[in-house]
Amino acid sequence: MTEIIDLLLALSQEIKDIKTRIELIRASRAECLKDTWIDNQDVMQMLHISQRTLQTFRTNGTIPYSKVQGKFYYKVSDIEELLQSNYYNPNFKCDGNK
């Protein structure tokens, strides 16, 4: 019986170690993607917007971009920053009278 408990404890520790490695890999990949460049189609799909709306975002400076031989590219980190800067949580209440 003690052997089974020891095996279960060892297995539990191995699972925790694997979980930690997976989390590190995910964090590493997410960090790498921030410097990735994507094109119009990817941005439109990511934000669920039309080509015209994306053009408006470029024109009014909402989204920074790079243009190479007539094709537009955007940094994933800039898209994330746009989303973060427009984040609204209706459940968050800031009550200064507490």
Tally of domains within the chain: 2
Residue 42 lies in a domain: yes
Using CA atoms, how far apart are residues 25 and 79, in angstroms rounded to an integer? 22
- What are 24's two structure tokens? 């590190």
φ/ψ of 40, rounded to 5, equals: -50, -50
Phi, psi of 5 (to 5 degrees): -65, -45
Q: Is residue 67 in a domain?
A: yes
Question: Measured in whole angstroms, how far is the alpha carbon of residue 39 from the centre of its chain?
Answer: 16
Structure confidence by residue, pLDDT tens digits, 16-70: 999 988 888 877 776 766 678 999 999 999 999 999 999 999 999 999 999 999 9
For residues 40 and 82, membership in a common domain is answered with yes
Range of the domain at 77: 36-88
74 in any annotated domain? yes
| 54 domain residue, yes or no | yes
Q: Is 94 a domain residue? A: no
Asked if residue 70 lies in contact with residue 34, where contact means CB atoms within 8 angstroms, the answer is no
Query: Does 21 lie in the same domain as 49?
Result: no
Whether the CB-CB separation of 42 and 53 falls below 8 Å is answered with no
Same domain? 45 vs 21: no
Are 40 and 66 in contact by the 8 Å Cβ rule? The answer is no
The residues that bridge with 37 in the sheet, in sequence order, are 75
Q: 56-85: per-residue pLDDT in tens?
A: 999 999 999 999 999 999 999 999 999 999
